[in-house]
Structure 1
Amino acid sequence: MTAEQFIEKLSTFINEKEFDKVEKYFKGNDGVTKSFGVKFGDVFNTAKEFSAMPLDEVNKLLDSDFYEVRMGAVSIMDFQAGNKKTSAEKKKELFNLYILRHDCLNNWDFVDRAARNIVGEYLIDKPRDILYELAISESPWERRTAIVSTHAFIRKNDIEDTFKIAEMLVHDSNELVNKAVGSWIREAGKKDQKRLFDFLDRYMKTMPATTFSYATEKLDAEKKKHYKEQRKR
């Protein structure tokens, strides 16, 4: 399986109605990313078909200027990381490739597609210093990876890093980071509601409106009203 074969297969799904995908969904500003004109459903299905692709070929896909081709690369990596048969060594290689080529993963959906499986799951039983390094990166996508990766920990009832990283990012200037912070403290709060309330009590008046909205979205009506009123005071 090669990068060239993947692109050739993907080209069979080109649909002129999909050429505005970059304008709709791509929030990066690299000046070179363009649409291949393929539905993401077809991208994901093709990636699944090519999920055994060697990483040196996946790396070639990451070099592409096409939005959907890079999404295909990320999806192949995600399928490999999520496969129970994937060796520990291969998971390490996937993790390293994700971090090394993060400059190519310059949109929110690249991060959301793969950060949990490739980064978070890999770090379950390892030091997590890299997430704190990513949290202070100049790249909003690396900062988003820092918080989104903690989803893997939340699933195992480990919420410490989620709240620590959220605290680092609570006043972030990028709305797509704000959304991620709000979303994952909300999810962590399902494991320990008091931790969420403590976080909100401390930061509700200073966090961006987007973060506040996402963090309180699933609270019961009475609690949501309470925090909205407190935020206005």
Structure 2
Amino acid sequence: MPKSKTINKKKLLGGENSKAEDVILEVRNIADPKAVEILSRFFKTGKGEYGEGDLFLGVKVPPLRKISKSYKGLPLPELQKIVKSKYHEERLLGFFILCEKFQKTRTDKREQLHLFYLKNLKYVNNWDIVDLSSRDLIGDYLIDKKRDLLYKLVKSNNIWERRIAIISTFAFIRKGDFKDTLKISELLLSDKEDLIHKAVGWMLREVGNRSLKSETDFLDKHAHKMPRTMLRYAIEKFPDKLRLKYMKTGKE
């Protein structure tokens, strides 16, 4: 009898009967108040910084991922309550759950989850949430579709939407398709934000990991006007001689 109860509990966990409150309770039970100050500094929550006003509970990423796997059946109305939480880790967990749902859903049934993500973009409001959700919920979704959305996002005044535009292309890079990464990187060459420079450099490096020529062709054309941080990220894995060549031509 006890064994049967355990099985039933597992069937219910994360299913249609689950509530946002169940998820939130699990997160808050593992919160570490001692880590709050460290995370707040790391994610720049001070006045005038990119994460100004964000609130933390003190929970690391691995436990959040573990919880997300248990609640992939959570209904979207309940998930909505989590992704709009005032706490950073709960928002991140909400998008982890959405990614889990997306990955377990047939390709032709994913539109609803993609649209849910777009509807909640204002809560994708720090670099870790961008990086850990957009590759699935935008990039993977657009693999076989028109990509006009990315070119709309890259023109946004919102730093996180611009970062989403470039990071989403990682899904295409993994398929050996670099054209949108290179086009969007070019559009972001004059961006003023360091977090955009890092994201562009990172994606260019990922291109180079698969096709060094594709990356060096881009650098031969643009290295002289690339922000220093962007260039450093892009050439991080280059052999010393090649890296020094581009550092000499890079923008000061």
Query: Structure 2 length normalisation: TM-score?
Result: 0.86
Alignment of 1:91-102 (within 5 A): 91-102=110-121
- AA of the residue aligned to 1:227: Y
Partner of 2:23: 6
Q: Distance in 2 between matches of 1:170 and 1:82?
A: 32
1:115 aligned residue (131, 134, 139) = 134
Partner of 1:200: 219
Partner-residue secondary structure (3-state), 1:204? helix
1:76 aligned residue (72, 76, 97) = 97
Count of aligned pairs between the two proteins = 231
Change (3 A) 1:95 1:37: same
Q: Is the 8 A contact 1:22 1:67 kept in 2?
A: no
- AA of the residue aligned to 2:43: Y
Q: Distance in 2 between matches of 1:210 and 1:69?
A: 31
Q: Distance in 2 between matches of 1:150 and 1:81?
A: 17
Q: Distance in 2 between matches of 1:89 and 1:100?
A: 19
Is 1:25 the counterpart of 2:43? The answer is yes
1:132 aligned residue (143, 147, 151) = 151
Q: Distance in 2 between matches of 1:216 and 1:164?
A: 18
Shift of 1:117: 1.1
Partner of 1:16: 33
Partner of 1:186: 205
Alignment of 1:136-147 (within 5 A): 136-147=155-166
Partner-residue secondary structure (3-state), 1:126? coil
Change (3 A) 1:3 1:213: same
- AA of the residue aligned to 1:25: F
Shift of 1:228: 1.5
Shift of 1:195: 2.2
Q: Is the 8 A contact 1:32 1:65 kept in 2?
A: no
Shift of 1:230: 2.5
Is 1:45 the counterpart of 2:66? The answer is yes
Alignment of 1:55-74 (within 5 A): 55-74=76-95
Gaps of 5+ in 1: none
Q: Which deviates more from structure 2 when the two are superposed, residues 20-29 or residues 72-81?
A: 20-29
CA offset digits 1:186-208 (Å, max 9, x no partner): 11123332221121122212111
Q: Distance in 2 between matches of 1:15 and 1:192?
A: 43
Q: Distance in 2 between matches of 1:79 and 1:45?
A: 11
Gaps of 5+ in 2: 1-17
Q: Distance in 1 between matches of 2:61 and 2:251?
A: 41
Q: Distance in 2 between matches of 1:227 and 1:169?
A: 19
Change (3 A) 1:94 1:217: same
Q: Is the 8 A contact 2:226 2:251 kept in 1?
A: no
- AA of the residue aligned to 1:132: Y
> Which 4+ runs in 1 deviate beyond 6 A?
none
Q: Is the 8 A contact 1:157 1:191 kept in 2?
A: yes
- AA of the residue aligned to 1:75: F
Partner of 1:164: 183
Shift of 1:142: 0.6
Query: Structure 1 length normalisation: TM-score?
Result: 0.93
Change (3 A) 1:58 1:103: same
Shift of 1:32: 4.2
The root-mean-square deviation of aligned C-alpha atoms, in Å, is: 1.8
Q: Distance in 2 between matches of 1:119 and 1:82?
A: 12
